[in-house]
Structure formats: structure tokens, C-alpha cells
Amino acid sequence: MEQTITVLDKVNSPKDVKSLNIEEMKLLSSEIRELIKKKVNTTGGHFGPNMGMVEATIALHYVFNSPVDKFVFDVSHQCYPHKILTGRKEGFTDSDKYLKYTGYTAPEESEHDLFKIGHTSTSISLAAGLAKGRDVKGGKENVVAIIGDGSLTGGEALEGLNNAAVLGSNIIVIVNDNDMSIAENQGGICKQLTQLRKTHGQAEHNMFKALGFDYYIIEDGHDFESLISTFKKAKDADHPVLVHLCTQKGKGFAEAETDKESYHWILPGALDRKNSESCETYESITADFILDKFSKDKSVVAITPATPGVSGFTKDFRAKLGKNYVDVGIAEEHAVAFASGLAKRGAKPFLSVMSSFIQRTYDQLSQDLALNNNPAVILIHWGGITGMDATHLTKYDIPLISNIPNLVYLSPVNKEEYLAMLDWAAAQNEKSVVIRVPFMDVVSTGEKDTTDYSKLNKYQVVESGSEVAILGLGNFFHLGVKVKDLLKEKLGVRATLINPKFITGVDKELLESLKSSHKLVITLEDGALQGGFGEKISAFYAPSDMKVLNFGADKEFTDRVSVEELYQRYHLTPELIVEDIAKIIR
Amino acid sequence: MEQTITVLDKVNSPKDVKSLNIEEMKLLSSEIRELIKKKVNTTGGHFGPNMGMVEATIALHYVFNSPVDKFVFDVSHQCYPHKILTGRKEGFTDSDKYLKYTGYTAPEESEHDLFKIGHTSTSISLAAGLAKGRDVKGGKENVVAIIGDGSLTGGEALEGLNNAAVLGSNIIVIVNDNDMSIAENQGGICKQLTQLRKTHGQAEHNMFKALGFDYYIIEDGHDFESLISTFKKAKDADHPVLVHLCTQKGKGFAEAETDKESYHWILPGALDRKNSESCETYESITADFILDKFSKDKSVVAITPATPGVSGFTKDFRAKLGKNYVDVGIAEEHAVAFASGLAKRGAKPFLSVMSSFIQRTYDQLSQDLALNNNPAVILIHWGGITGMDATHLTKYDIPLISNIPNLVYLSPVNKEEYLAMLDWAAAQNEKSVVIRVPFMDVVSTGEKDTTDYSKLNKYQVVESGSEVAILGLGNFFHLGVKVKDLLKEKLGVRATLINPKFITGVDKELLESLKSSHKLVITLEDGALQGGFGEKISAFYAPSDMKVLNFGADKEFTDRVSVEELYQRYHLTPELIVEDIAKIIR
């Protein structure tokens, strides 16, 4: 490829953007889009959101004066253009540095980033805090929250809107309306935005004006003249302003413009080839189970808070369920209460939530659901120790969920067990049941699991031994099998292997029975130790002579640290575990 | 008092309400108000909200057909008139039965109650679930959510509104606008409601219509003709309807109509006498501390999510802080993110939240605050084991908060320690600090605490002994002192007494050092054991010979069980603890 001087070559910081003319900005937009395509197609990442925000981000840096003026990017997965313009373009031009920068805003990377943000709907509240801080400190800068229409449906964003509206000073909320969050947008706010778009901002009722915002619309969010003139109007306002910015998600890549959902976040190589091979996954097992139930019971309702993809709720699945499929948008709190209401009315709700996002619903799980013992079924996806960004760790769902009274939190280890647990959860009417969907390749025994799960907190002894007992929870049951084999090989110990199945309770009878022929119990859990499963086993044995070792992750935010490294750090390989056991029993 | 036949005598269930004429309804209203006054003045309870809802509740039962039609009372602390009309008036007429019924809706009491509800902002989502359940089950009933204007600012309620708007079938949201939540209402929604009230529902922009609701206003929510005719219009609608019901909080008791905040919830006898004696409390200590800091630093900001009373944020305090006092309304999620933003901008935020309501903010504490290490100070009030209603238990804040990375959660045991912790938390800029404000009478040593709290997770050995070590956390440090004394007396053991101070970390060095001269460590915490402090001590010692006993509450929803009974149940008296210790060491 021939080396030519590009606009991007001249842009190393926001001040360079300020000297560009419109033609150059257009060229810069194309160049940024090419970078994003190439980089994201190599590493995977958020594609659609970033493609849509290119022109708007250039215009923001042209009009405002970052870092004095403060930008808060909601979710921040649409911040790639911002990163490119704020000294981090090497993370997109140099394939050796593709992984140097996180996919979200990160204050440690740049003074142009204010917060680490990865969960949605937080930007308005954070910005309101910055603005109030400015006011009490005597500052004069602009504070700008940039939030997608999909994120606007989250409770925190709405609380933020309500409060930002009465701040009494400068705050600018830019709503990037691309008519999509991850999947299709839902709800009254989406309809309102559509109405405003259709009427050129002149809809009869404007909820933002009703709340007290000055309202501007940018009908073509890829047109620099509109962007710049509107941002200039909003700049330095002494009161709350909301800018309704209409953009096209995936702009600049035809397939992404059409199939917005598939191109929201993509895997490496996704832009080159389309269909990945399909094989059985715990998500497809989930979807098949729900469809089967639905074929017999029309009160089955599948619910997702805007993440159907991770739940196996494919387009085909949604079509088959019809009105019994509900995407509530990014609104996890509502989703849990909604499921509770459905169960109360005798329907059979299945709510799928990612481990990281169930964090938004502690109070709803406790008050709306568990306290009322309504028999909803909640499925937690992706729970485990991963190498993900610090904002998307999935190791805290056990401490979060398992300490709530009344709830039954189950952790299956294979397909048949998962199906049996689903069956029981769906059939019973006494308990709110949460299942930690295995986060691994499907393991199948080929034998139907006939366990009676109504007998709560009964662990399963898979293999009887002595001296050491291994409690391998969920995903880590399989690690337990390896530990058992290695113990035999290295130390000649024939250990007892136990599948606890229940995260929320201690099988006191079984644990008591281990005392006579065991010296050490080890617990293995694919999650954070603090507040988790293993500590409860330790507490049970604490007044006795039994020794216990808890294996799991530590309470820390890790940021893109590989699973391999984490397993070393936390002693989660069979070898390291057996070494630790040897120190106790030898 | 002469016995006369009253209207109330004739009303034993909702069907009796249907045969009343308007004059009788008016009499019934007066009779219900007298009952509420007398009962609440005897037992304490929610006063203002119930006094305002008398006519509306009668009209609801007149127009709708409960229990076929479903009422969901938000917070449900405005459900007293509903209880009186649905077979439970003995709980108000018979002083022996004043405590028979809970102050909230309770399905176990009556088929007219759908959910146990005590946290705000949940009704719309729960009702949406009921409505969707009805649709998939083929039902035809009305589903009615009755929510106060104050509760409408909570994120879950706004998520609920957004989703209820597109339900596509019958759901009726009644917004009881009394211009007050607990303290004065705040925010854009409040302004919108005021605007709608002023314009007889004809404000230029109507956010409810914007979201897709049919909108009706009842300008005088104490006028039966308006109530009944409007409810009839809403009834059987095949689409989402919002009724804006204007009422007067405290209606029928002059002082409560004027001073709405003081009469929201009252103590026994409050209607007879006004001022309670003032003495030093941990709340007044908090307020004095913040005022003192503010006198030196104008960037100090005190924040409350609509509960200034429990934080010591008196009217005088608020007046002195002026714009540096922010009541964000019922919006705990926003409050945490807002505090994080303030701290990031260099201001010094102090956010006060009740233990029970911090449950709404796990994700914000984790993502908006702790992940970013912004030095906000969060004060948790009323944390401990109480005899409260199941919806307002305050024993879960330790498991909730202490397992979040980066956060420092401190638990002071006396006034001087609390002040030293506040001082440190306010002065440092590295950590997000949470303090569990002691929930007990003030204990003062009279000696300044000079501990350097920047040395994280350093426990304090208050008295050195041997054989048994007592870790008494926060409120329960004082229980630890009693246990120590009784151990000496009963068993002749001179125990070591330790004040852990830090909930979020384990002082490994100190715990290690105890091994040489101690056989048993006991932990005492005023909260739930599961996921809490003691389990971490058990886990630490689990691979060693040290024995551990954890004392605290069990994971269960208790409903108005007295503290005395709970202390017996959980072995939390010095005598029971020493007996348990004796079983291990003797």
C-alpha cells in the first residue's frame, strides 16, 4: 500500500482537530472508519457503535475543549474515534499495539478519559457529579455526557436525567439515537425518539423538554455543518441541554448498517466471512428447552434485558416465541421485577442475564423476587473467571446472589444436570430459582439426571474416598476430577469427589459425615472467593478439626489478564492445587 | 364513648364499598382517618402517606373489583386504608391487634395483597409482570399500580414506565402526586408534575404522553366524583393509562398537612406532643462533622437519596449547607455515581444511605465508584440486626459492600473512632471509603483516636490475653467486651479482645500471630453471617489448627421478630456465646 500523507497523520491531539476544515474532517472520518474496520476485524470488539460515532466525535473535539471540557462516554464502547483523536491512534494503526489500549475509556491511558466505564447508563449521573463538582469548585468548563438511545432505558440513566434536569448549571446530554441498543430497542423512550425523529424534533410531547431540558435535534449525525452548529449552540449553556443526535449504527459498512445487531460487537474476522459453524452450546440447549416448554405451555415467557445473543435467543427463537419473547431493553431491574410479577400471575418466566449485569439487580432479586418466593427462573450466563476487561468481570455473581435469603442458586456441571435443574425449576411453584449456566464447552454424560432437586442443598458424592474431599462447584467440577486423578498419581490419595449442585446452601449432613474419614476438604469455585461458596464450607468446619482450602479468584479488578495467568495467580491448575494439598496433608 | 353504627361497621370487604353512596364514602373517610390517627399515634408508623390516600383507596375499591383486578401499592406504606377495607380493620380498631398486621402489603394476610413490598419504585414493573402474565394466561382483569410521586424518581420505576408504555394491553399506573416523597421532592419529574397540576393537565409537554400513556388528571384527589369518574374511564382500557392523582399528604391532620416531612412516618405519641428531646447521636455527630468541614472547604457536598432524617441532615443543617446539600430524591443509583463524579472533579462528597437501601447500588458501588477509586465518602446508617419488617432488614450491607474490590469499608465502635475515620476518609484521595455508622447510643472514650487509617486492614488489639481471641466488629465490639468479662468470670479465661475496624480486609499478620497462644477465635458481627466478615476469618484459619466460631445473624427474612428473640435464636447474648465457647475449649 502506497504511503500518502493523510489527514490522520496530522491529528495527534484534539487541538489538531480544531484546525481542520470540513473537507478534511470528511477525509478524516473515512480514514478513522478504515482503521476501526481493520483493527476490530483483527481483534474483535465493538463495531457498529463506533462506526456510527465518527463524525460526531470529530465535531465534539472541534467544538469543545477537552480535557478542560469533560466528555463522559456512556458504556464507552463507542469511544474508539475519541481514542484515535486523543493520542492513542497507534492502538489502531499499529497491529503490535492493537491490545495496548482497552476498548473502553480509561483514565490511566489519557487525561481525556474521566472514568473506566463498561456498564451502561451511568454517564449522566457521573457527568452530573462532575458538573456539580465544577460548580462548588468554581470552574467554568462544559460537561458532556454522550449516551446511546439503548443505554437511556437503564434506571440509573433515567435517575440521572431527572436530576441533571435541575442541576441549574451547564450539563450537556448527547443522546446518540441509532435506533438500536444491542438488539432492537424497545419501550416508550424508543417510541418517543422515533416520534421526534419523524417530526424533525417537533413532536407534540417532548419528554426531555417536559423534564426541563433545552432540546436540540441533529437529524443527520454524519453531517459536520449540523453537528458543529448545534454543538456550538449547546456549548457554554448555563442550564441543562439535551442534544438528540441521530446517527446510523454501523455507518460505512453496508452489512453492519443493515444487520445492526450482528455487528454491534464482532469476533475477529467477522467482516470477512459471515456464518460461524453452529454446534451445541449451553445457550442452544437453553433455547431448545424453552421452546419445548413453550410448545406445551403457552404461559412460558422468555425475557432478556437487551442481550438476547448471549442467551441463545436467536432470531429464529424469537420468531417462534412471538409475544412470549420480551426484550425489555437495558433494564435489568425491571426485568427481575417483571419476571416476579409474571410468576405471581401463574405464567412461567425465564429471564436470562449475563453475570456482570446481574450486579444491577441485587435489590430486585432480594425484595421483588426472593422475599415473595415467586417461582421465576433466572439464568446467569458467562459466570466464571475470565480474562475480560475490568468492567466486564463475571466472577461476582456467586457472592451477590448466594447470600440472598430464599433464593435457590444452582450450579450444574453438565448438560443432563442442567436440563434436570431447568425441568425442576420450571415445574415447581415454591421457590425463585437461579441457575448458573455452565460457561464452557458442553459436557454430556448421555444419562438422564434423575436427581430430585426439591430436596434442597443435597450435594452429590460422585466418588467416595478418604483423607481428602473435593467439592468442585459448577464449571470447576471438571477441575475437581483432574485434581482427584492427580492426587492419586502424585500422593496416592484416593479422594472423595463431590458435586455440590447447590450454591445457596450447605449440606450439613454430608459435610458432617466427611469428618470421620477425611482430614482436608478443598473447595473449587469459578468465581471470587470473598463472600462465595468456599467460605461457607470453611465456616462450617471452623469449630472442628477438619482443615479446609478454598480455591477461587481473589477480590480484585483484573483488566485483560489472561485466564492462564489468573489460574497461576490463584493456584487453579491441578498441579498447583495438589501442591497446596500436599503442604497440608504430608 | 357512645357506640353508634358507623359506615365502617358495614364495610368488611371491598364488595361492601360498592354499595355506598358518596355521602357514606365521605363519612367512611372520616372514620378511617380517625382510626389511622389513633392507631399510628399508638404504634408509630407511616402517617402522612396514608392520610392522603383515604378517598382514593375507597374509590379504587368502588370502581375496580379486587382481588380479580389487581392493585400493587408501591412501597405499600400507603396501604392502610386498603387494609381497613379488605377485612383487616381489626388491626386498626382493636388495640390488642394493632401489631397483628404488617405496615405493608402482605399476601399471607389477604388475597387483596399481591406482593410484600417495602422498597420504593417497584410497583410498575411488578404490575407489568402481572399484566403480561394475564395476557399469556388469557385473563381479562385490570392491573393497577399505585405509586407516589416520590417513588417515581427511582430507576426501577422509570424502567417500568418505559416498558409498561409498550405492553400493548391493560395497565393502569396511578401516580399519587402529593408533592412530597419523604422530604421535599426534587428533579425534573417533580417539576413536570407541578407544571401539569398548574395547567390542569394541559402542560405543553407531557412526559407520560410522550412515553405513550393515555393521561388523565384528578385535580382533587379527595373528591369522590372526580375519583370515581376518572377511574371508570381508565378501567378496562386495552392500553397503558396513567392517572395523575393530586392529593394532600397528611390530609385531615392540620400539622401533617403543613409539615409533611415530619409526619411522613411518626413515632408513638407524635400527634400529641411535638419536640422530642435532643441528645447527641451518631447522626448529629455526622452532621456536625460535615458542617465543620464545610466551614473550611466549600467543596464539601452532602448528598441524600430522600432520607435526610436518618442521616442527621436537619433543616438547620440543610440551610447552612445551601447548594452544597443535595437531595437527589429516591435515586440511590444516581446518588452513588453522582458522588463518584463529584470526587473525580475534586469536590468532597459525603453520601448518606440507609443500610436497607444501599442494596439498590451494588453495581454503582462496584463500577461507578470502586473501579475508579474516586475518594467519595459513603455513610451507611442503621446497619445491624433489627426487629423490623422483612422489607426493611438492615443486616445485608456487610455481605453486599465488603466483597467489592477496592472499597474500604470501616466499622467504628465509638465516637472518637468514627470521627477519626471520617477525618481520614475526607482527607485522603486514593480510596472510595464506606463507613458503617454505629447504630446504637453514642459511646465516647473522651480520648482522641490517633490511628493512621491509611494503613489498611490493621486491626486493633484492645486487650491481650490467651486461649480465646474475640473479634468484635462495630456495634458488636461492645458485646465482645461483655463476652470477655464473662469468659473471665465463668471459665477463668483471660481472652484477647480485638477491634477489627476494617470490614473489607483481613489482618493476616495479626491473625497469624494469634496462632501461638490461642486455640479459638470468635467473631461477632451485627449482620448476616453468610458472605460477611466472620466467614473470612474462618477461611483464613481453615487450613490451620485454630478453631473459629462465627456469631451473627442467619440468612433469612425475619418479619417483625424482636431483637431479643433474634439474639436468642442466633446466640448473641454473652451467656449463650460463652456457653458455645465452653463447648469448644473445655
User: At residue A1, does pLDDT exceed 50?
Assistant: no
CA B81 to the chain's CA centroid: 22
Closest CA to A143 of A154, A151, A133, A152: A133
Question: pLDDT per residue over B200-246, tens digit each?
Answer: 999 999 999 999 999 999 999 999 999 999 999 999 999 999 999 99
Cell of B322: 445551601
What is the predicted pLDDT for the residue at A179? Answer: 72
Binary contact (B360, A359; C-beta < 8 A): no
Kindly list the residues from chain A whose CB atom is less than 8 angstroms away from the CB atom of residue B539: 529, 534-535, 538-539, 548, 550
What is the predicted pLDDT for the residue at A277? Answer: 57
Which candidate in B333, B508, B566 is best for mutational testing of the A interface (most A CBs within 10 A)?
A: B333
| pLDDT bracket for residue B419 (50, 70, 90) | very high
Q: What is the mean pLDDT of residues B264-282?
A: 77
Place of cell 410497583: B123
The string over A177-186, giving b where at least 16 C-beta atoms fall within 10 Å of a residue's C-beta and e elsewhere, is bbbbbbbbbb
**Candidates A153, A156, A340; nearest CB to B126:** A340
Average pLDDT score, chain B: 95
Question: pLDDT per residue over A461-477, tens digit each?
Answer: 999 999 999 999 999 99
Instruction: Report the SS3 class of residue B139.
Output: coil
Binary contact (B159, A154; C-beta < 8 A): yes
Kindly list the residues from chain B whose CB atom is less than 8 angstroms away from the CB atom of residue A405: 555-557
Binary contact (A129, B550; C-beta < 8 A): no
Q: Is B140 in the A-facing interface, judged by CB distances under 8 Å?
A: no
Q: Cβ distance A581 to A520 under 8 Å?
A: yes
Place of cell 468554581: A138
Of the CA atoms within 13 Å of residue A227, those in its CB half-sphere come to 26
CB neighbours of residue B563 within 10 Å? 13
Ranges of H-type helices in A313-378: 315-321, 332-344, 355-358, 362-363
Q: Cβ distance B46 to B40 under 8 Å?
A: yes
CA of B498 to nearest chain A CA: how many angstroms apart? 19
Sheet arrangement for strand A496-499: A460-463, A496-499, A467-472, A518-528, A547-553
User: Per this entry, what is the length of chain B?
Assistant: 586
**Candidates A125, A131, A364; nearest CB to B156:** A364
Question: pLDDT per residue over B547-560, tens digit each?
Answer: 999 999 999 999 99
Cell of A306: 437487551
CA A327 to the chain's CA centroid: 16
Residue type, B246: C
Kindly list the residues from chain A whose CB atom is less than 8 angstroms away from the CB atom of residue B556: 405
pTM (two decimals): 0.96
Q: Is A492 in the B-facing interface, judged by CB distances under 8 Å?
A: no
User: At residue B149, does pLDDT exceed 70?
Assistant: yes
Which candidate in A204, A333, A377, A395 is best for mutational testing of the B interface (most B CBs within 10 A)?
A: A333
Q: What is the mean pLDDT of residues A547-572?
A: 98
Cell of A13: 491531539
Residue type, B313: F
Residues B218 and B224: their CA atoms lie apart, in Å, by 10
**Candidates B117, B127, B162; nearest CB to A189:** B162
Q: Cβ distance B398 to B383 under 8 Å?
A: yes
Cell of A265: 460487537
Question: pLDDT per residue over A242-278, tens digit each?
Answer: 999 999 988 998 888 888 888 888 888 888 765 555 6
**Candidates B154, B165, B331; nearest CB to A187:** B165
Average pLDDT score, chain A: 95
| pLDDT bracket for residue B16 (50, 70, 90) | very high
Sheet arrangement for strand A214-218: A70-73, A143-148, A171-177, A240-246, A214-218
Question: pLDDT per residue over A419-443, tens digit each?
Answer: 999 999 999 999 999 999 999 999 9
What is the predicted pLDDT for the residue at B3? Answer: 54
Q: Please report, in angstroms and rounded to a whole number, the separation of the first and last CA atoms in chain B.
A: 64
Binary contact (B125, A338; C-beta < 8 A): yes
**Candidates A132, A211, A341; nearest CB to B189:** A211
Q: Is A188 in the B-facing interface, judged by CB distances under 8 Å?
A: yes
What is the predicted pLDDT for the residue at A274? Answer: 53
User: Per this entry, what is the length of chain A?
Assistant: 586
Based on the number of CB atoms within 10 Å of its own CB, is A94 exposed (0-12), middle (13-18) or buried (19 or more)?
exposed
Classify the C-alpha dihedral A496-A500-A501-A507 as positive or negative: positive
Instruction: Report the SS3 class of residue B351.
Output: strand
Cell of A521: 476438604
What is the predicted pLDDT for the residue at B273? Answer: 61
What lies within 8 Å, CB to CB, of A86 at 6+ separation is: A13, A14, A61, A66, A110, A112, A113
Report how many Cβ contacts below 8 Å link chain A to chain B: 399
Binary contact (B163, A126; C-beta < 8 A): no
Question: pLDDT per residue over B60-78, tens digit each?
Answer: 999 999 999 999 999 888 9
Q: What is the mean pLDDT of residues A347-374?
A: 98
Residues B472 and B144: their CA atoms lie apart, in Å, by 48
Nearest residue on chain A to B138, alpha-carbon basis: A299
User: At residue B1, does pLDDT exceed 50?
Assistant: no
What is the predicted pLDDT for the residue at B179? Answer: 73
Can you name the residues that pair with B524 across neighbouring β-strands? Answer: B472, B551
Instruction: Specify the pairing of strand B143-148 against strand A496-499.
Output: unpaired
Binary contact (B204, A207; C-beta < 8 A): no
Binary contact (A132, B341; C-beta < 8 A): yes
**Candidates A126, A156, A211; nearest CB to B207:** A211
Binary contact (B153, A132; C-beta < 8 A): no
Q: Is A392 in the B-facing interface, judged by CB distances under 8 Å?
A: no
Nearest residue on chain B to A520, alpha-carbon basis: B543
Ranges of H-type helices in B250-354: 254-258, 282-296, 308-311, 315-321, 332-344
Q: Cβ distance B142 to B69 under 8 Å?
A: yes
Question: pLDDT per residue over A490-506, tens digit each?
Answer: 999 999 999 999 999 99
User: At residue A375, does pLDDT exceed 60?
Assistant: yes
Cell of B152: 417515581
Cell of B439: 447504630
Q: What is the mean pLDDT of residues B167-195?
A: 86
Instruction: Report the SS3 class of residue A335.
Output: helix
Q: Which of residues 411-450 of A touch B (CB under 8 A)?
A: none
User: At residue B182, does pLDDT exceed 80?
Assistant: no
Binary contact (B343, A133; C-beta < 8 A): yes
Question: pLDDT per residue over A572-585, tens digit each?
Answer: 999 999 999 999 99
Cell of B129: 409482570
**Candidates B166, B405, B543; nearest CB to A191:** B166
Closest CA to B365 of A48, A400, A340: A400
CB neighbours of residue B261 within 10 Å? 18
Q: Is B130 in the A-facing interface, judged by CB distances under 8 Å?
A: yes
What is the predicted pLDDT for the residue at A181? Answer: 53
What is the predicted pLDDT for the residue at A392? Answer: 94
User: At residue B84, does pLDDT exceed 80?
Assistant: yes
Residue type, B474: G
Nearest residue on chain B to A358, alpha-carbon basis: B363
Cell of A73: 462516554
Q: Is A244 in the B-facing interface, judged by CB distances under 8 Å?
A: no
Check whether the bond before A67 is cis (ω within 30° of 0). Answer: yes
Binary contact (B345, A539; C-beta < 8 A): no
Residue type, A34: E
Q: Cβ distance B91 to B101 under 8 Å?
A: yes
Q: Report ipTM (2 d.p.).
A: 0.96
Check whether the bond before B67 is cis (ω within 30° of 0). Answer: yes
Q: Is B166 in the A-facing interface, judged by CB distances under 8 Å?
A: yes
Host H or E run for residue B156: helix B155-164
Residues B531 and A504: their CA atoms lie apart, in Å, by 11
